[in-house]
Every structure is written in C-alpha cells, then in structure tokens.
Amino acid sequence: MINVDHVHKVYPTRQGDRVVLDDISFRLDRGEKLGILGRNGAGKSTLIRLVSGAERATSGEITRTMSVSWPLAFGGAFQNALTGLDNVRFISRIYNQDYRQNIDFVSEFTELGIYLREPLRSYSQGMRARLAFAISMIIEFDCYLIDEISAVGDAKFHEKCAFELFHKRGDRAMLIISHDTEYVRNHCGKFAVLNEGKLAFYPNFDQALEAHNHNLHLSAKVR
C-alpha cells in the first residue's frame, strides 16, 4: 500500500513560493493501477518523484508498505562515468542480484549493442531511457512508477515494454502518468486529473478525459 496524506510541495522562486502540489491525498493498494492525466507543468513528474522517495514533500506524509520502483525510463540515479554494463553491475550488487544474468537480459532488451560498453555520458536521451527501463525490469518491485514511458523508443520497443510490465507483472500496482490518453485508458483501472496543484478522481476514464481536455482548453485560452 502507498498512502499519500495531505501532501504539499512548494518550490521557492524569486517571484515567491510556487505551489506545485496542494493538499494531495490518495491510496494505492497492491495490484491497483492509477492513471493520472495533466497538462505540461501540472506537477505529475513531481508527484512521481515524491512517491518514489527521490524528493521530500514540503508537508504531509507518504507511507509505503510495499517496494516502489524509481520512475521507469529515468536514469538520473545512474553513474555517467560508468558504462552501461557497469551500471547494470552496480544496480545488481545493490539489490543482491546476479549481474551476469541481468547483463544478458539488458543486452537483449535494449538492443544497444556495443554502446553498452560506452560511458553513459555519451548516451542520447532515448538510449538512457532504454537502459533505465531495462534495469528497472531486473528488480522485482511491488509497485512501478511510470512517467511518460510511451514516449520512449519505437513501436517495437513499446510492445516489449508493455509485455514486461502488463503481461509479466500484471499483478503489480502501478502509478502511471502520460500524455498518451489511450495508454492510460488501456492500462489503468483508476483515473485522476492533476490541475493547478489539485488532484481530482473520477469514476471512469471518459469523465477524467473530459475534465483533462477542459483544463487544456482553459490553459490555451489564458495563453
């Protein structure tokens, strides 16, 4: 279970405090899949980072009673000076995994070939995302955090990601944020919309999508 209880996140700026998340509360139980829609800058990625533990809330509390992944396809925690293979070894040792078996999986899954022997500093954003997703799959978590994974790679790679996540790990909890509304529709059973720091839940996808599109329309008019 993940319980987010009255969480606020505020960033100080020269123009004053910027409230990104305003009194957010929800609970995600084992096996549940929650999809969150929201425009750019709504705070979706910030919420994912807070749930993962990569950032701390300004106030409120997040309780986790199950293991939680880092945001899939996010390679910010990796070592840029190390090669792709060395990063696999590094993560494998942290989680007490057989790195030789993991290297075989990552090599086959990413299709990065000789680039796995190059330092991460030479990787493109897409290459880093492929590596990060593959490394995420070598560790079995109770809950996976998915931040715009549908934007990574080509259609073939999307199919591989979907098979690993929703076929092999279909019993896991997932928190999914994406601009791809069909991705959220197809893979989630709970739906919410994040707008101006507030998180609103809806009984079905169609109502969530209607609210999301309404927010996009209002945002476009303001601009």
Domain boundaries, the chain: 1-67+145-152+174-222
CATH superfamily of 1-67+145-152+174-222: P-loop containing nucleotide triphosphate hydrolases (3.40.50.300)
Looking at per-residue pLDDT, the higher value among 191 and 127 belongs to 191
Residues in the chain: 223
CA 9 to CA 18: how far, in whole Å?
A: 9
Residues with Cβ < 8 Å from 13, sequence gap 6 or more? none
Looking at per-residue pLDDT, the higher value among 150 and 179 belongs to 179
Q: What share of the chain is helix, strand, coil (3-state, %, to 5)?
A: 40, 30, 30
CA 150 to CA 162: how far, in whole Å?
A: 9
What pLDDT is recorded for position 223?
58
Asked if the model's pLDDT at residue 195 lies above 80, the reply is yes
At 28-56, the pLDDT tens digits run 999 999 999 998 889 999 999 999 999 99
Other Cβ atoms within 10 Å of 56 Cβ, number:
10
- DSSP 8-state class, residue 166: I
What pLDDT is recorded for position 179?
81
Element (H, E) at 37: strand 33-37
Percentage of residues of the chain with pLDDT beyond 90 = 73
**pLDDT, average across residues 62-87:** 87
What pLDDT is recorded for position 162?
87
How confident is residue 102, by pLDDT bands cut at 50, 70 and 90? Answer: very high
Check: CB of residue 40 under 8 Å from CB of residue 77.
no
